[in-house]
Chains A and B, each alone.
Chain A
Amino acid sequence: GAGVSQTPSNKVTEKGKYVELRCDPISGHTALYWYRQSLGQGPEFLIYFQGTGAADDSGLPNDRFFAVRPEGSVSTLKIQRTERGDSAVYLCASSLRQNSPLHFGNGTRLTVT
């Protein structure tokens, strides 16, 4: 079946611009996660949704980052006033339930010039 889908696969933006990254989880998965992966590093936790609500957003680096999941399915990660340090691969994952294994998408590579 279809896996986690992330769009766009690549995004290049100028410093100071606003970007939105989209995640379509596996159908029926109630939990959704955003991670960020810098070059040569492991993924770092950003935020976790159980249903529509953000159950844990402790990994968001600052208030320029925000994520929503209004209908409990698709999620959007929003970054305001982008900085060059925001350049990374943003990974989305979903799981059937809170304690089920995570399935990752292929990520969105964000480059801030």
Chain B
Amino acid sequence: GENVEQHPSTLSVQEGDSAVIKCTYSDSASNYFPWYKQELGKGPQLIIDIRSNVGEKKDQRIAVTLNKTAKHFSLHITETQPEDSAVYFCAASTGFGNEKLTFGTGTRLTIIP
């Protein structure tokens, strides 16, 4: 089955700087890659997603890049703010639907004011 690895497990950045989180996946058939933000005591919240027919997607301060050949994808957060502090998860899914997501182990991002 699919295996998703995520790095780093923890990341601290100064407010205003950029943060990058990287994930690799094993199943070349994976075609959907969402990123979730999870705050303490809450469920994961979708922040951005990308499909395999697109190499890059941007939404304001957040961007995701996908390299299908290398089987890795990355989350980029620019101009970080204290409210960006949370645990971030990448995930991958195969097939037509998004039902069977395989998640990475998470990155705890801390923004230092």
Interface flag for B103 (CB, 8 Å)? yes
Query: Residues of B with Cβ closer than 8 Å to A?
Result: 4, 6, 34, 36, 41-46, 49, 89, 91, 96-106
Q: Which of B41, B101, B105, B106 contacts A102 (CB 8 A)?
A: B101
Write 7 A-B pairs (CB below 8 A) sorted by A numbering: A33-B99, A42-B6, A42-B103, A42-B106, A43-B101, A48-B100, A99-B97
Q: Which 4 A-B pairs have the closest CB atoms?
A: A42-B103, A104-B43, A98-B97, A48-B99
Residues in B whose Cβ lies below 8 Å from that of A101 = 34, 46, 49, 98
Q: How far is the CA of A56 from the CA of B98 in the complex (A)?
A: 12
Residues in B whose Cβ lies below 8 Å from that of A40 = 105-106
Q: Which of A42, A95, A98, A105 contacts B43 (CB 8 A)?
A: A105
Extra inter-chain contacts (20) besides given A42-B6, A43-B89, CB under 8 Å: A33-B99, A40-B106, A41-B106, A42-B105, A43-B101, A44-B103, A45-B99, A45-B100, A45-B101, A45-B102, A58-B100, A59-B100, A98-B96, A98-B99, A101-B46, A102-B101, A104-B43, A104-B45, A106-B42, A107-B43
Q: How far is the CA of A63 from the CA of B56 in the complex (A)?
A: 42
Contact call B43/A4, Cβ cutoff below 8 A: yes
- Known A-B contacts A101-B34, A101-B49; the reply to A43 vs B44 at CB < 8 A is yes
Residues in A whose Cβ lies below 8 Å from that of B105 = 40-42
Nearest CB on A from B45, distance (A): 7
The chain B residue sitting closest to A9, CB to CB, is B41
**Interface set, chain A 73-104, CB cutoff 8 A to B:** 91, 93, 95, 98-104
**Interface set, chain A 22-54, CB cutoff 8 A to B:** 31, 33, 35, 40-45, 48
Residues in A whose Cβ lies below 8 Å from that of B97 = 31, 98-99
The chain B residue sitting closest to A43, CB to CB, is B103
Interface flag for A12 (CB, 8 Å)? no
